[in-house]
A and B are shown apart, each in its own frame.
Chain A
Amino acid sequence: MLKGAAEAEETVAKSDSAARLEPLPLTVIAPPSGWTNLDLRELWRYRELLFFLIWRDAKVRYKQTVFGASWAIIRPFVTMVVFSVFFGGLLNVPSDDIPYPIFSYTALVPWSLFSSGLGRCAESLVSHANILTKVYFPRLVLPIAAGLSGLLDFAPSFIILLGMMVVYGMTPTINVVWLLPFMLTTLMTMLGVGFWLAALNVQFRDVSFVVAFLAQVWLYATPVIYPISLVSDAGKALYLLNPMASVIEGFRWALLGKGMAPSLELLVPNAIALVLLVTGALYFRRMENYFADVV
């Protein structure tokens, strides 16, 4: 009897203290004040939205197309065929003694991930203007989802790459584990530049035109069509400034055994990628206060 009363009292005390311990969270809304912090914790709370955005993109992207998801394979594959005919065949571009088709396709797989992701990032805010002006959530979710959804296309085109290696009689070595850090560099660079472009695009629609142009120039500045061995030693130092150059050469090295082996030099492009990512995110957070007013 006594025990029961004590228990009841304890529950009362508990629920009472629970109510006191967990008041409803207070949100303070105040004018924007210069540079804000990244607030990654809030971003983490919205991870399900990130997941849903990617999932929706996967569901919708190839709806009402005849070829459906095979577009993910067709695009890099046909590009590879075109490159092989013109650059490998007609122009006789050297390819580090590797058959030109697999030489270029190995580069095109990460490059497509990068360039199409960049384009989607840049458009992510503008194309979601209707959501931006109606409901609050950390805006960074949009470019991140747009960029990461490129991984859905990456997977099938990578499987084709493995198939081509079998056809050309190449066996992957343990070096393939290096693909993971290279992927990371790709995503960092893509999101970093993507954050900048997405935020700028809200105010300046010029960005939409710049992106296509940028991707094209960047393609030539990256050893996709040609091997980096074609470049002089002085020029190679310059290529270190381009994170995607190290990624492409790294992919070739990890899968085909030719190209640039990872070395300490890789710290430079990765540092650049990291700087792009952090500054891009900071700029984005600073500008996001105005997105809904301007978009």
Chain B
Amino acid sequence: MSETSIRVENLSKRYQIGAQRIGRATLRETMSAPFRRARRLLRGQARSAADLLETFWALSDISFEVNQGEILGVVGANGAGKSTLLKILSRITLPTQGRAETRGRVGSLLEVGTGFHPQLTGRENVYFNGSILGMNRAEIARKFDEIVAFAGIEQFIDTPVKFYSSGMHVRLAFAVAAHLEPNILLVDEVLAVGDATFQQKCLGKMGEVSSEGRTVLYVSHNMASISRLCTRALWLDHGRLQLDGPAEDVLSEYLSNNAVNTGAREWPNGVAESGVDELKIYAVRIRNSDGAVSGVLDVRRPFFIEIEYRLFKHIPRNFRVGVVLTSSDGIDLFDSYDVDNEALVGPREPGRYVSRCEVPGNLLKPGRVVLTAFGGMWQIRQLAMLRNVLTLDIEDLGGVGTHFGGKRVGVIRPELEWQMERLA
């Protein structure tokens, strides 16, 4: 029975830019706003009323339908409107235009652990969190043991959660949300947290949920998990629905379009997370061992990763830029940071910089590698996050083991020094 579970028609959402600033606005600022707008109009900086309100469309004219029991993946770059879509479907915020219909109870894992109070015990938080998510007491009581077992924190259930490790915190929160038994489950990037075993558990739970005839909308940057779980996917780009179709097709289209293997991505005006004024990244480049920009690399030769950026403020500590290399099937190969070089630890002055590292040859395995670059203040704030920004094609032109052939296992193919000693 394939009854429609979610129907979205011409959905659009407009945000006022700097909405956060408006939130903290004082009465005076708000009252003077009309005058500021009038001034901009007089100066000819705005042509229509809509120009006066600094707005942008987080979603524009999205339409799609999801059938019961389907797992729909949603992919797109940062700011493509994925989270806005989930927020509208979970009724946290309303659309500006268009409409959406959802059938049955909607549960969301937008941010697990919502409403956890550090002073309360795990048990108390399970009840409280459950009730926020729309469960009643009898329902929570019935599933309580299952929730605790899923989270695997039986012996700490009566300890205040402020003594929990962050992993325990997330596991418990996910467990509550996963046992909500919604008809529609909205999942946003939960797999970014927790260890590998727990992530497997979460994926398993989501598959289970859909086999019970529930609908799942799954937003993730983890392409591997999307291709494994979803049969169908949406690709959002700057608030528009770029592609809707079988997950395989959408993913390959998205990856080849999004992460280019020309070896460089440049932003003349710089990019950063919204609201960040400390840092802008202007370019991410791959250079081969000859110093030429290229996304096609010889597996035997070293290559260089460059991040070009400007700091607009003095940053006293914890600043770093870094990269994550991910295999095409979604397995993280390694991460690396400029502060791995101890000499770079410490305050940073404003100015334009390039941070460069060398990746040795004969380390990666031939194939496609996706690069994510970012800059931020470690444990304080993410300033810029460029997910899957470049694709590297590692060409097998010889190297480790190729002289005798055969397939290698694992995700890397390092060249190690082998010796042999004769013992007898």
Spot the interface stretch: A88-96, A155-163, A199-207: A199-207
**Is there contact, CB below 8 Å, between A136 and B91?**
yes
Assuming the A-B contacts A24-B103, A135-B132, are A30 and B27 also in contact, with contact meaning beta carbons closer than 8 angstroms in the complex?
A: no
**Is there contact, CB below 8 Å, between B92 and A136?**
yes
Spot the interface stretch: B107-115, B304-312, B416-424: B107-115
Q: Which of B27, B101, B183 contacts A29 (CB 8 A)?
A: B101
How far does the alpha carbon of A41 sit from the alpha carbon of B119 in the complex, in Å? 32
Tell me if B94 counts as interface (CB < 8 A to partner A): yes
CB proximity of A146 to chain B, nearest CB, Å: 14
Assuming the A-B contacts A24-B183, A48-B136, A64-B119, are A206 and B26 also in contact, with contact meaning beta carbons closer than 8 angstroms in the complex?
A: yes
Tell me the B86-114 residues at the A interface (CB within 8 Å).
Answer: 87-106, 108, 110-111, 114
How far does the alpha carbon of A289 sit from the alpha carbon of B110 in the complex, in Å? 19
| Chain B residues near A295 (CB-CB < 8 A) | 23
Assuming the A-B contacts A29-B102, A48-B137, are A203 and B25 also in contact, with contact meaning beta carbons closer than 8 angstroms in the complex?
A: yes
| Chain A residues near B89 (CB-CB < 8 A) | 29
**Is there contact, CB below 8 Å, between B27 and A206?**
yes
| Chain A residues near B183 (CB-CB < 8 A) | 24
**Is there contact, CB below 8 Å, between B128 and A52?**
yes
Give the total of A residues in contact with B, Cβ under 8 Å.
Answer: 38
| Chain B residues near A134 (CB-CB < 8 A) | 92, 108, 110-111, 114
| Chain A residues near B127 (CB-CB < 8 A) | 52
| Chain B residues near A56 (CB-CB < 8 A) | 117, 120, 124, 128
| Chain B residues near A30 (CB-CB < 8 A) | 94-95, 99-100
Binary B-proximity of A214-225 (CB < 8 A = 1, otherwise 0) = 000000000000
How far does the alpha carbon of A46 sit from the alpha carbon of B124 in the complex, in Å? 18
**Is there contact, CB below 8 Å, between A131 and B137?**
no
How far does the alpha carbon of A82 sit from the alpha carbon of B296 in the complex, in Å? 80
**Is there contact, CB below 8 Å, between A31 and B95?**
yes
B95, closest chain A residue (CB): A31
A134, closest chain B residue (CB): B114
The residue in B110, B115, B127 that gathers the most chain A C-beta atoms within 10 A of its C-beta is B115
How far does the alpha carbon of A242 sit from the alpha carbon of B147 in the complex, in Å? 51
Residues of B bordering A, CB below 8 Å: 15-16, 19, 22-27, 30, 87-106, 108, 110-111, 114-115, 117, 119-120, 124, 127-128, 131-134, 136-137, 183
**Cross-chain pairs A/B with CB under 8 angstroms, 13 sampled:** A25-B104, A26-B103, A30-B99, A32-B94, A52-B128, A52-B132, A59-B124, A60-B120, A134-B108, A135-B92, A135-B114, A135-B115, A203-B25
